[in-house]
């Protein structure tokens, strides 16, 4: 491995690289590059909620670090159009007036997203192309074509006052692509010849040995499945995977089938791809969902969202029998042409079981090679390091186990351990004349989005939701005389998710006596009397319910003083 070049430069000012998301998790990708009074942001993605985040729609990065630095932000650069890289933009960028840079497909997706959020298009959207150079404050950014599971993906070569930083984006190195879009290894090699101060490289698939499978093999497999299917074919795929959708179109065309696209995000992506010339779809092939019933089953392909078992997706509603126009029947073949994202396995298995129960044949990654990852395997990751020959290596995009394994992989190809910066979200990576190091920490974390509420749900609320989901709710209502403290009405007891009605009578009757006893012990002259009564009732009922049934429902006393 080449030694660290003189690209650290003459200037004493330091360059800071601060990950606000994406290091230690899958998704939430957001990176800040800061020099003097200038900041450039790379990506702003979401993470989908984990199991314990009951009721949460999505998770976005915490941007407290940027609140007092908005005047320093010179631009936001997007590597590609996946939600884990652009999904947080409507929340992060809504108050910023800075340019957003991206390739045509990526920016078109962002524009639709802003419209969905009713956001004014106050910041300029600047289209860029691979190999193009642009200036963003003190940074010169060159875009490098990469192959990924979405079209128009790019990596970045960022010339800074202290040296050249390479950001791989999400990539794979596939020499047999579908419809072009090879990863531009020549450009990465040119960066290596110029001298790369630091490489930040995607770690998602570091556990996978060898090389990614060719997309063309997936096309062949899809075609062979289409030939053998006797009835309708339903394919669930990520809406952004335009190359896969093109393969589905070609397989359908070869078998003389019509094609229908279901799901809002699917229809949006297909419309954008057609407008930009990324999807070749003969007009006479496409039908709407209302026409499906008028065409014989062997002549139909339905392309839909829901490959991850999302509860409200089209595929989920089809499997549950709640979709208005499409019902599963014998002879149908359902293809899940995507990877099972960790955490979604149970939901996907439920969908598969329902599809089988309703008579469909189901083909998915565990039984057939109908998906190839968009992220580099080990040998491709090694090649990226060898092409760029970085002085410092920073593994990004992945859980801690991915980052650690990628760091070890970098050691195997010659990067010294002292030059591997294994950072966490919020840790500040500093580069200056003294070299590169982790020094200090910025605020970083997760902000929960629930409906229109952003950041108003915290762990205490999630804890209450978990208790409600696991133990149920008991409400007690009583009216008391404000002067005498005597009970005028009640206590009335009502439970939800706690006991079946047949088992409630004795337990709830005893609970009423517990409430009355708690009232008898109350001092009329005690300050904040109502709050004190609520506290006594909660404590007494918690103890009682745990004693008799070993459950801990949420206790909600409603006390009216007249």
Tell me which residues are annotated as active site.
Answer: 202, 375
Nearest one of 69, 8, 11 to 41, comparing CA atoms:
69
Give the alpha-carbon dihedral of 286, 292, 295, 297, to 10 degrees.
Answer: 110
- Cβ neighbours for 534, distance < 8 A, ≥ 6 positions apart: 557, 559
What does the block give as tokens for 264?
Answer: 């809002």
For residue 262, what are the β-bridge partners?
A: 304
Strands of 252-404 (E only): list them. 258-262, 300-304, 333-336, 361-363, 392-396
C-beta of residue 161 within 8 angstroms of C-beta of residue 13: yes
Direct distance between the N- and C-terminal alpha carbons of the chain, in angstroms, rounded to an integer: 82
Strands 554-561 and 73-77: unpaired
Going by their DSSP bridges, the two strands 15-21 and 427-432 should be labelled as antiparallel
Tokens 């003294």 sit at which residue?
Answer: 434
Distance of CA 463 to the CA centre of its chain: 22
In this structure, what are the phi and psi dihedrals at residue 489, rounded to the nearest 5 degrees? -150, 140
* Alpha helix (H) residue ranges in 132-241: 185-194, 215-228
| Residue 453 CA, distance from chain mean position | 18
d(CA 172, CA 181): 11
């Amino acid at each position: 491995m080449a030694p660290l070049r003189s690209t650290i430069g003459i200037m004493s000012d330091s360059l800071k690289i601060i990950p606000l998301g994406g290091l230690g998790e899958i998704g939430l990708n957001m990176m800040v590059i800061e020099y003097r009074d200038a900041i450039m942001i790379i990506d702003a993605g979401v993470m989908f909620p984990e199991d314990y985040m009951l009721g949460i729609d999505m998770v976005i990065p915490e941007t407290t670090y940027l609140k007092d630095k908005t005047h320093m932000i010179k631009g936001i650069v997007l590597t590609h159009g996946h939600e884990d890289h652009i999904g947080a933009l409507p929340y992060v960028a809504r108050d910023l007036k800075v340019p957003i840079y991206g390739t045509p497909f990526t920016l078109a997706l962002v524009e639709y997203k802003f419209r969905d959020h009713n956001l004014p298009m106050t910041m300029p959207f600047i289209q860029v192309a691979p190999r193009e150079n642009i200036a963003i404050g003190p940074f010169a950014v060159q875009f490098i074509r990469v192959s990924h599971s979405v079209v128009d993906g790019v990596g970045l070569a960022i010339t800074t006052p202290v040296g050249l930083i390479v950001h791989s984006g999400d990539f794979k190195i596939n020499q047999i692509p579908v419809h072009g879009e090879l990863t531009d290894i020549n450009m990465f090699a040119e960066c290596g010849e110029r001298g790369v101060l630091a490489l930040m490289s995607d770690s998602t698939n570091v556990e996978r040995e060898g090389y990614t499978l060719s997309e063309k093999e997936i096309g062949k497999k899809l075609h062979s499945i289409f030939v053998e299917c006797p009835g309708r074919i339903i394919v669930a795929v990520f809406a952004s995977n335009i190359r896969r959708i093109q393969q589905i179109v070609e397989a359908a065309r070869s078998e003389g089938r019509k094609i229908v696209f279901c799901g809002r995000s699917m229809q949006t992506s297909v419309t954008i791809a057609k407008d930009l010339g990324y999807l070749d779809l003969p007009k006479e092939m496409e039908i709407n969902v209302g026409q499906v019933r008028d065409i014989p089953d062997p002549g139909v392909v339905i392309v839909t969202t829901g490959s991850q078992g999302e509860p409200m997706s089209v595929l989920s509603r089809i499997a549950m029998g709640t979709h208005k126009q499409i019902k599963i029947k014998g002879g149908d073949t359902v293809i899940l042409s995507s990877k099972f994202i960790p955490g979604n396995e149970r939901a996907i298995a439920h969908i598969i079981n329902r599809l089988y129960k309703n008579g469909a044949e189901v083909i998915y990654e565990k039984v057939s090679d109908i998906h190839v990852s968009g992220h580099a395997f080990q040998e491709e990751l090694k090649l990226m390091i060898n092409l760029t020959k970085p002085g410092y290596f920073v593994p990004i995009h992945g859980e801690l186990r991915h980052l650690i394994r990628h760091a070890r992989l970098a050691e195997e190809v010659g990067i010294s351990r002292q030059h591997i910066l294994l950072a966490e979200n919020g840790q500040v990576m500093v580069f200056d004349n003294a070299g590169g190091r982790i020094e200090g920490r910025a605020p970083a974390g997760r902000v929960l989005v629930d409906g229109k509420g952003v950041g108003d749900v915290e762990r205490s609320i999630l804890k209450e939701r978990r208790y409600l989901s696991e133990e149920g709710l008991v409400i007690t209502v009583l009216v008391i005389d404000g002067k005498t403290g005597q009970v005028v009405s009640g206590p009335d007891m009502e439970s939800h998710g706690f006991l079946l009605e047949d088992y409630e009578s004795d337990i709830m009757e005893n609970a009423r006596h517990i409430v009355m006893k708690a009232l008898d012990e109350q001092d009329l002259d005690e300050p904040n009397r109502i709050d004190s009564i609520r506290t006594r009732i909660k404590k007494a009922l918690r103890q009682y319910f745990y004693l008799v049934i070993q459950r801990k429902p949420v206790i909600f006393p409603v006390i009216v003083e007249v």
